[in-house]
Amino acid sequence: MEPYAIDGRNNNPTDPGLNAVGATFARLGEAHYADGISTLVTGPNPRAISNIVVGEGDPTIPNPQGLSGMLYAWGQFIDHDLDLSPTDRVTPISVVIPPGDAYFPAGSVLPMTRAVIDPATGPGTGEPATAVNAITGWLDASMVYGSDPATAASLRAPGGRLATSKGENLPIVDGAFAAGDQRAAENPSLTALQTLFVREHNYQVERLLRIDPGLDDEIVFQEARAIVTAEIQHITYDEFLPHLLGSDAIASYRGYDPDTDPRISLEFAGAAYRFGHSIVSAETERVDETGEVVGPALQLRETFGMTPQDFAAASGADGFLRHLADDASQSMDARIVTDLRNFLFDPPVGQDLAAINIQRGRDLGLGTLNQTREALGLPPHERFSDITDDAATVAALKEAFGSVDAVDLWTGGLAERQAPGSFIGETFSAIVASQFERLRDGDRLWYENDRFDEDTLDAIRDTTLSDIILRNTDTRYLQDDAFTFFDRRGSDVASDDPEAHQLVIGTPGQARLVGGPQGDVLVAGSGRQVLTGEGGGDRFVFSGDTRAVVTDFRPGHDHLVFEETGAENGRPCGRHDGAGEPVILESHGHAVVVYGSTRVELLGVRAGQLSPDDLIVA
């Protein structure tokens, strides 16, 4: 199997440099510079826009769609696989703090320098300045494996494995975590996903060596790398993007098209894919199996660039990953949490991510919201109220920009009302959908392009992000879809969000587990347990030594799940080993299901009402 080149070259047979390290970004519309070449356009002060528009209202309202924090974490993880626009560290484009700022002294600056550009563009060339991508532009897991040979080699360990530090964490170099992308330690959510996929690589190595112990180190490394890359591609297109854009936003895969332009666009990298800044939660916690916070309480602002020692403490990556599935993303709107707007730390000064995004858009020559919409074939907005139904945001946009034609792409894109079926607005939806469809179709090494045998391809397609978390962390229970928010808690703790999906862990002894109106997961503890699912299609999970009563089981809707020896890692999940098939009995007019050391009584259900489809042995 041909692997992706570490530097991204030679994917396209007629254009070997396409999406390789150092390639220029594409544009969906014309470049917009004051002089047509490189001078930044003028406009309202980016920090003023941030204060007036992005800082208006409450940025901490959970999204009504019920999506988890994994949405923004995975979005950033994938972003760090696709693009990195380095700066020249020389040419200043700093943002001056306006008078009356509540956080920074007036006249001080948020320091910024210009993006590195293709030398064939910019001043003296007659061509508009176009930034270059410092990493590969393919969805090739470069954030795990690197985008240059030196980095890639430094991350490897003997036996085809990736190097780790104590506790199966990322390797530590000069006191900091090292990974395929230099931004791996920006925040603990990102670091946790980076750690997860290093573990997944090593899991795949061990699995492959069990099948064939004689595999050469290089062969097993590349096979594991190919599988991990394919899993990331699959999760992105079959879990993440349907939640972000809607299930039909991207056309079905029809095979490789060498004429498709897969390059990363500046509109995508510089604005649309920065949608995630709006939905980042200020809560950054590590939680245990029952949803209880472990270790010190953390604010997001305190976790930027976390040291390896602090990250690994108190459950480390495992606890942070549980938290992401147990925390709702914020609502998609023009607001971002103050930890990103007023406390983002870039030594030795604070920063404002919103102001940076707006100024970077001018640096990259992005069009305004309306200019970009016209380039995409969408009608321009004529009034501020065309952008959003949020009256406060309409007023803020009017105050900050004066004219709807002056609204920049990032601010306006965040503010747009959500497109039908999408989590984001019409303009961002069009940019993101186009990018991911072109990226897939123009990739000769895409995992579905005759890359794997049928069994391996089926295994990849059957793998979810939750599966990877469960087999590489100490988490025992997780919702099937990690991108959907479930309120994780013990049975003795009231729900913080009773209308949300519930993941309830029964305490040993006598316990009562109660779900909510959504489809829930109720995990019985040992002893006498009473389970009530309430509404939705519920899963009642049993791992042994349990005498349980389910008060509202609905055949054909709910499921009883009996655990046996844990998957491929061989760890026992309960005491059902060798129990055979569940036995259905009837006692006092109620169905009773017996499996190993578990006895479950289903109130109001007769034995004849149950079918094999109601029972799962996992």
Question: What DSSP letter does each residue of 171-206 carry, written as one string?
Answer: PEETTEE--SSTTTTSSHHHHHHHHHHHHHHHHHHH
pLDDT at 580: 84
Q: Are strands 539-542 and 521-523 parallel, antiparallel or unpaired?
A: parallel
Helix (H, G, I), strand (E, B) or coil at 550: strand
Is the torsion defined by CA of 434, 437, 440, 443 positive or negative?
A: negative
Query: Options 1.10.640.10, 3.40.1130.10, 1.20.1250.20, 3.30.390.50; which CATH number does 46-441 get?
Result: 1.10.640.10
576 - beta bridge partners?
none
Looking at residue 396, its amino acid is: A
pLDDT reported for residue 349 = 64
pLDDT of residue 343: 83
Please give the full DSSP string across 77-135, using - where no structure is assigned: HHHHHH----EEEEEE-PEEPPTT-SSS-TT-EE--EEEPB-TTSBTTTTB---BB-SS
Q: E strand or H helix at 221, and its extent? A: helix 217-235
Residue 602: in which H helix or E strand, if any? strand 598-602
- What distance in Å separates the CA atoms of residue 10 and residue 13, rounded to the nearest whole number? 6
Euclidean distance between CA atoms 299 and 282, whole angstroms: 6
pLDDT of res. 353: 96
CA distance 123 to 141: 35
pLDDT at 344: 60
Please provide the distance, in angstroms rounded to a whole number, between the alpha carbons at the two ends of the chain: 33
Distance separating alpha carbons of residues 534 and 522, to the nearest angstrom:
11
Helix (H, G, I), strand (E, B) or coil at 156: strand
CATH 1.10.640.10 domain locations along the chain: 46-441
Residue whose pair of structure tokens reads 């990102």 in the numeric block:
190
Query: Under a CB-based contact definition with an 8 Å cutoff, are residues 440 and 450 in contact?
Result: no
How many C-beta atoms lie closer than 10 Å to residue 5's C-beta? 18
What pLDDT does residue 575 have?
44
pLDDT digits (tens, 9 = 90+) for 157-202: 999 999 999 999 999 999 999 999 999 999 999 999 999 999 999 9
Alpha helices in 236-282 (DSSP H): 241-245, 266-270
Backbone angles phi, psi at 96, to 5 degrees: -85, 135
Distances (CA, A) of 540 to 151, 175, 340, 425, 559: 46, 45, 40, 38, 6
CA–CA separation, 441 and 11 (whole Å): 12
Q: Which residues pair with 232 in a beta bridge?
A: none
Sign of the CA dihedral 441, 443, 447, 449? positive
- Tell me the mean pLDDT per 10 residues along the chain, length 618: 97 97 98 98 98 97 98 98 98 96 92 97 98 98 98 98 98 98 97 98 98 97 98 98 97 97 98 98 95 92 93 97 98 96 67 96 98 98 98 98 98 98 98 98 98 97 98 98 98 97 97 98 98 97 96 98 63 50 96 97 98 96
| Structural contact between residues 358 and 439, judged by C-beta atoms closer than 8 angstroms | no
